[in-house]
Structure 1
Amino acid sequence: MSELYDVIVIGAGQAGLAAGYHLKKNGLKFIILEANSEPTGSWSQYYDNLRLFSPAGYSSLPGMPFPMKSDAYPTRDEVITYLKSYAEHHRFPIRFNVRVERVERNVLFNVYTEGGEAYRAKNLICATGSFNRAFVPELEGSKLFKGNMIHSSEYRNPDSYRNQRVIVVGRGNSAVQIGAEISEVAAVTTLAVLQPVQLVPQRLLGKDVHFWMTIIGYDSFPFWRFGVNVGSPGGAIDVGGFKKMLKSGQLQQKNMFKRFYSEGVIWSDGTKEQIDSIIFATGFRPIMPYLHGVEGALDVRGYPIQKGGLSSTVLGLCYLGLSGQRSFASATIRGVGSDAKYVVKQLKRRGLG
């Protein structure tokens, strides 16, 4: 019979590592199962020039500050290095290259892997987060379009877009940042939006905007207690002269196009425009197929049925890293530590099964 754990954590990205910190701090017997070979979550899949929108002073996991000046903005590679160092520093019991295939629950949680291994635990924390299933809306005529069409998760750098006519669909941080850097080399770059881009200054009165979000409590306000999901603020932080680019027309924005045709798109006013490439910066959806065998865990869309990270239907089942789980910052490196602390506290309060 396999070893019995207090908690099994699925995923060793930022959410799983934050869970590991609080589980270890509370003296619980746990193991973290990670499908990949490193504890970096989705970070290794992001575009080359990604830079955090929050400074290092607000971007740490619990128990280990980000190792750079508090007002500096970490790059993607610096975050990856930090996560690896974090896991090594805390010596979490992580098993890499172990992909969970299915979970069953019969008093205990039985976790089965693609490699044929089986693990048992009294409780389960799903820390595979919100960034593992790219969302691309279904649009009329998309199969007719002959140009290049990708999700932002596939985008790496602007090199291949030189002298092209490019559309980036979206108005959030990723959409604006990708659009801005492509506009430096493309012939035309347009943001296709449902509403005009709302830019937030990166600094107000000499302080980063996250300082003010912390002061007023927006970053950590428990919207979830009132049944409100605040997964995205619906705007973008101006980290690179975006306002100037939009004003000058270097980076354009137009109301979302109505449909595709073979050479491009047809805008809402009926105008046709030839387009070479389209990038959908339209976010992600959580996907946890391994939970389909746990009755009542997921709704008809495959979304977890939960409140504040605790399953509403299955005792002992928890989640971390979901967008808007407990606050605006839940799916970020700066917010997941607080959620992990809450989830582990609730597990202990319930007696761990």
Structure 2
Amino acid sequence: MDRFTETEGKRAHDPLYSPRRAARATATGFPVGEHGEVFAGPLIIGAGPAGLAVAACLTMLKVPCPYVLLERHDCIASLWRHRTYRRLRLHLPKRYCELPHMPFPPSYPEYPTREQFLDYLEDYMRHFGIRPFFRQEVVSAEFDGEFWCVRTKEVVTAAIGGAGEEAVVSTATREYRSKWLVVATGENAEPAVPEIEGIDLFKGQVMHSCEYRSGEGYQDNKVLVVGCGNSGMEVSLDLSNYNVHTSMVVRDTVPLEIDLVLICVVHVLPREIMGLSTFRLSVWLLMCLSVQTVDRLLLLLTRLVLGDTARLGIPRPSIGPMELKKVSGKTPVLDVGTISKIKSGDIKVLPGIQSFQEHGVEFIDGRTEDFDVVILATGYKSNVPYWLKDNDFFSDKDGFPRKANEWKGKNGLYAAGFSRRGLLGVSIDATKIAYDIAQCCNDIGYEKHKSK
């Protein structure tokens, strides 16, 4: 009896059968692929919000083929848990950030904190009976003509001594095979670290923003934050709140192939306008107005709230925020107080970096300044090209689907959380993917029963 028929038999004869129990069985009772067993359900790679959402949607649809959820770290949502600063909050209202089939608790504020979001994800996992396989780092995944063959490496460590050091005590490789592969590793799987001339010569501390937690302890340092996206703006604000000497690099332009025009990195908008969420306001306006008209209104209102940011050293792109988001995927920065700190002089804005020196930085305008710490708020990137052997659906260049907002490839390949629409996009992708897999499972079940 194959696994699909066995699962169908349990559904027919076990009155206590439920998708949640099936999910638990997947994680605790089924083989874990030492010899390349074929699994009846999909393989989901990544136990962040996207992977959890897909698993929950499959459960709610009562998909008869139990899924397998693989996660390379020892916890869910490792980026949120281990690579974010303490003051982080969701940038959008909570109604746009909740995952399918489970809203945030009513007691949560409009913009939940990092800790609240992590608690929500833990409750989400428990509610839907999701049981990931942890410490399963995918090293390769390829379609063999019939199944997706996923190979993982498991590294087990143990503490040694009393200084918090760890040593590898065992390693194991496993192989999983399935008709469906859901890539849910997300847009922010790995820190993006740019190559800057002379950075290896710098004698001070250089770190990526994923290592930054708080401005506490930096009071006696001159800190340079490289980048003016949401992370760069908020890290700069946090440092300033601790009275740290803070400077922020804002590049004037970055080349993008959009009508052969050089545009600025991002737009900066207030998080709220007249007490309304800027995101919510833009959604409402886009329902009845053109993108260009909405952009004109947003920029007019933004100028009334924030003033002329170009006078602060933050010039605006040549096209509006919503149009820029549409054509490039670049999300506007939502200001939560950084602009005010720049106006007061607590945060200094500097142009692009020419090169690093032993104790400082030379900028493109010729000036040179000394710094003790450099924080690279230069964003993240997808790691899909490193392990997925597929050149048709995902781009080798950036690890995103080649077509914008695409969630389904060939041969049972799916992408969850790559639409550049944040957690709202995650929910949309997960719902579509689960419905598609459910339909495929039902079709397979129909054919199997028909052939008896």
Task: Identify the residue that residue 208 of structure 2 maps to in structure 1.
Answer: 151
Of 111, 121, 145, the residue aligned with 2:150 is: 111
Task: Identify the residue that residue 338 of structure 1 maps to in structure 2.
Answer: 428
* SS in structure 2 of the partner of residue 278 of structure 1: strand
Query: Would you say the 8 A contact 2:381–2:398 is kept in 1?
Result: no
Query: Would you say the 8 A contact 1:142–1:260 is kept in 2?
Result: yes
Q: How far apart, CA to CA, are the structure 1 residues paired with 2:68 and 2:85?
A: 30
1:27 pairs with 2:96: no
1:257 pairs with 2:295: no
Amino acid at match of 2:330: S
1:98 pairs with 2:145: no
1:1-353 alignment, distance < 5 Å:
2-28=37-63, 29=65, 30-44=67-81, 45-69=83-107, 71-106=109-144, 107-114=146-153, 115-195=172-252, 198-217=267-286, 230-233=328-331, 235-239=332-336, 241-288=337-384, 291-294=387-390, 296=392, 298-301=394-397, 303-307=399-403, 308-310=405-407, 312=409, 314-322=410-418, 325=419, 328-329=420-421, 332-347=422-437
Query: Would you say the 8 A contact 1:15–1:337 is kept in 2?
Result: yes
**More displaced 10-residue stretch of structure 1: 203-212 or 42-51:** 203-212
Amino acid at match of 1:6: G
How far is the alpha carbon of 1:350 from its aligned partner? 6.6
Q: How far apart, CA to CA, are the structure 1 residues paired with 2:42 and 2:267?
A: 42
In structure 2, the gaps of 5 or more residues are: 1-35, 154-171, 253-263, 291-324, 445-452
Q: 1:216 to 1:19 in 2, by over 3 A?
A: farther
- The alignment of Structure 1 onto Structure 2 pairs a total of residues equal to 338
Q: How far apart, CA to CA, are the structure 1 residues paired with 2:68 and 2:246?
A: 46
Task: Identify the residue that residue 28 of structure 2 maps to in structure 1.
Answer: none
* SS in structure 1 of the partner of residue 62 of structure 2: coil
In structure 1, the gaps of 5 or more residues are: 222-226
Task: Identify the residue that residue 298 of structure 2 maps to in structure 1.
Answer: none
How far is the alpha carbon of 1:260 from its aligned partner? 0.9
Query: Would you say the 8 A contact 1:175–1:191 is kept in 2?
Result: yes
Amino acid at match of 1:110: C
Residue by residue over 1:246-299, the C-alpha shift from the partner in whole angstroms, topping out at 9 and shown as x without a partner, is 111101212112111111101222111011111111111100266344565654
* SS in structure 1 of the partner of residue 200 of structure 2: coil
Amino acid at match of 1:16: G
Amino acid at match of 1:57: R
Q: TM-score, normalised by structure 2?
A: 0.68
How far is the alpha carbon of 1:180 from its aligned partner? 0.9
Amino acid at match of 2:270: P
Q: How far apart, CA to CA, are the structure 2 residues paired with 1:286 and 1:54?
A: 22
**More displaced 10-residue stretch of structure 1: 303-312 or 50-59:** 303-312
How far is the alpha carbon of 1:176 from its aligned partner? 0.6
* SS in structure 2 of the partner of residue 171 of structure 1: coil
Q: How far apart, CA to CA, are the structure 2 residues paired with 1:300 and 1:173?
A: 26
Q: 1:54 to 1:79 in 2, by over 3 A?
A: same
Q: How far apart, CA to CA, are the structure 2 residues paired with 1:159 and 1:256?
A: 27
Amino acid at match of 1:96: F
Query: Would you say the 8 A contact 2:407–2:415 is kept in 1?
Result: yes
Residue by residue over 1:23-68, the C-alpha shift from the partner in whole angstroms, topping out at 9 and shown as x without a partner, is 2233332121122232224111211221111222322101111114
Amino acid at match of 1:184: N
* SS in structure 1 of the partner of residue 283 of structure 2: helix
Amino acid at match of 1:174: S
Query: Would you say the 8 A contact 1:131–1:284 is kept in 2?
Result: yes
Query: Would you say the 8 A contact 2:203–2:359 is kept in 1?
Result: yes
Task: Identify the residue that residue 10 of structure 2 maps to in structure 1.
Answer: none
Amino acid at match of 2:52: L
The root-mean-square deviation of aligned C-alpha atoms, in Å, is 2.7
Q: How far apart, CA to CA, are the structure 1 residues paired with 2:384 and 2:98?
A: 26
Q: 1:295 to 1:189 in 2, by over 3 A?
A: closer
How far is the alpha carbon of 1:232 from its aligned partner? 2.5
* SS in structure 2 of the partner of residue 111 of structure 1: strand
How far is the alpha carbon of 1:302 from its aligned partner? 6.2
Larger Rg: 2
Q: TM-score, normalised by structure 1?
A: 0.86
Q: Which of the pair is proportionally richer in helix?
A: 2
Q: How far apart, CA to CA, are the structure 2 residues paired with 1:193 and 1:242?
A: 13
Query: Would you say the 8 A contact 1:22–1:340 is kept in 2?
Result: yes
